[in-house]
Amino acid sequence: MQAFDLKRMVLDEFPLEFLGEVVLRCVFTFIMVFIFLKMTGRRGVRQMSLFEVVIILTLGSAAGDVAFYEDVPMLPIVVVFFSVMALYRLSTLLMNRSDRMQNWLEGKPLVIIRDGVFDWDTMQKANITHDEFFMELRQERVEHLGQVRLAILEVNGAISVYFFEKERVKPGLPVMPADYVDMFEKADDNADYACSICSVIRTLQRGERCTCSRCGNTHWVRAFTNSPVT
């Protein structure tokens, strides 16, 4: 085999007419996946649970093979489609009848912020890092955790945020990008500081060093106190 053989790389030994068949196969697989999405009643990937994403990936893998492999017939993909749909319907029925089955297949909502600080037990058990959802908190117009009474990580990856009333806002860990936040090992002034890892708040005096009692971290961020934007 010759390296960088353009004829082999572009079309290999297939006739030029095979490209028309590829187009037909792509249209066929597109219609199959589109019908599946319509039948599940979902409008986008963000509205899907982990279980549903796995179903789509399974169907997509089969559809991808039939799209451009000439030795993969089209009828089996129809069988795959109906088999996956039957599995989806059966799983949905079981989840409607059993909360345990639903939690196992789709997961369950997780409280990640409670009363202005991370729910540390949840963060550790679920192996969640705050960088994963700080961007989404900013999109919800959150500036710091002290504004948040409750934040729930939904099974589809979305975050539901419930704010404190203005007069109840607490000092909190800012959710700004790292370039916009100064981090300290010792306090530069008498003020409230937030642990950069677990978000617990401590009042520190100028020059004071502190090890977080909850996570053992030694780096602190000046806590924000701004009220949420209405």
The answer to whether the CB of 210 falls within 8 A of the CB of 218 is yes
Looking at residue 199, its pLDDT comes to: 93
Decide if 8 is inside a domain.
no
Chain center to CA of 161: 15
The answer to whether the CB of 108 falls within 8 A of the CB of 188 is no
pLDDT in tens, the chain (230 residues): 677 767 666 767 777 787 787 788 778 877 877 777 677 665 455 556 667 777 777 777 777 777 667 677 777 777 777 887 787 788 888 878 888 877 777 778 889 999 999 998 888 877 677 777 888 899 889 999 999 999 998 877 788 999 999 889 999 999 988 788 889 999 999 999 999 999 999 999 999 999 999 999 999 999 998 876 65
Same domain as 96, residue 19: yes
Domain that holds residue 146: 110-222
Domain boundary among 59, 85, 104: 104
Domain boundary among 46, 79, 104: 104
Q: Which residues contact 230 (CB under 8 A, 6 or more apart)?
A: none
Same domain as 135, residue 79: no
- C-alpha 26/C-alpha 144 separation (Å) is 47
Spatial CA neighbour of 119 closest among 162, 161, 163, 151: 151
Looking at residue 41, its pLDDT comes to: 60
Looking at residue 229, its pLDDT comes to: 63
For every residue of 98-135, DSSP letters joined together read: -HHHHHHHH---EEEEETTEE-HHHHHHTT--THHHHH
Looking at residue 70, its pLDDT comes to: 67
Residue that has been written with the tokens 């996570």 in this structure: 215
- Strands of the 159-163 sheet, one edge to the other: 117-118, 110-114, 148-153, 159-163
Same domain as 173, residue 149: yes
Same domain as 87, residue 50: yes
Q: Which residues contact 227 (CB under 8 A, 6 or more apart)?
A: 147, 166, 169
Element (H, E) at 149: strand 148-153
Decide if 137 is inside a domain.
yes
Looking at residue 50, its pLDDT comes to: 66
